[in-house]
Amino acid sequence: MSDSGLTRLCVGDVIMSEAFKYGQRRHDGTIRIVCATEDQMAVDDESRSQAKFVIECAEMGGELLFGGIDNSDILHVRARRLRSDWSYNYNGEVIDFSVNGCSKDHVDPSCVKIIGKARIRFDIYSLTR
């Protein structure tokens, strides 16, 4: 993985990107962000390019793709849209994208801005008395 700074997206990072307006809705309701320009694809949701998202999952590839292509240097990211006041939204839109890939699903890491960090907290309680 190159060391250009923004390629090091981590769980808890709050991010924004103009690229997030290009997406394709999947059968499970998540939005797959695709690398596109205005002349290649219609904008799916302009508001998504100004929204804040928190990264909930960031995993490196590590498997062989079709044709024996190694994707171990591809970072797969899943993020959830926050409310405008930066609060967590359990029902917020979920996007996913890849960084450092060479397919149309690739998002250039220089287009993703890290604007904050979320603190993850677990509330633990007993189900038995």
Tens digit of each residue's pLDDT (9 = 90 or more) over 82-106: 999 999 999 999 999 888 766 556 7
Q: Tens digit of pLDDT for each residue in 38-84?
A: 555 555 788 999 999 999 999 887 555 555 556 667 888 999 999 99
Provide mean pLDDT across the span 19-26.
84
CA distance 71 to 31: 21
Question: Residue 63: what pLDDT?
Answer: 57
Pick the more confident residue, 11 or 45. Answer: 11
- What does the block give as tokens for 61? 């590839």
Residues 6 or more apart whose CB falls under 8 angstroms from that of 52 comprise: 14, 15, 16, 81, 82, 86, 115, 116
CA distance 114 to 129: 43
The whole model's pTM is what? Answer: 0.77
pLDDT at 2 over 50: no
Provide mean pLDDT across the span 108-121.
89
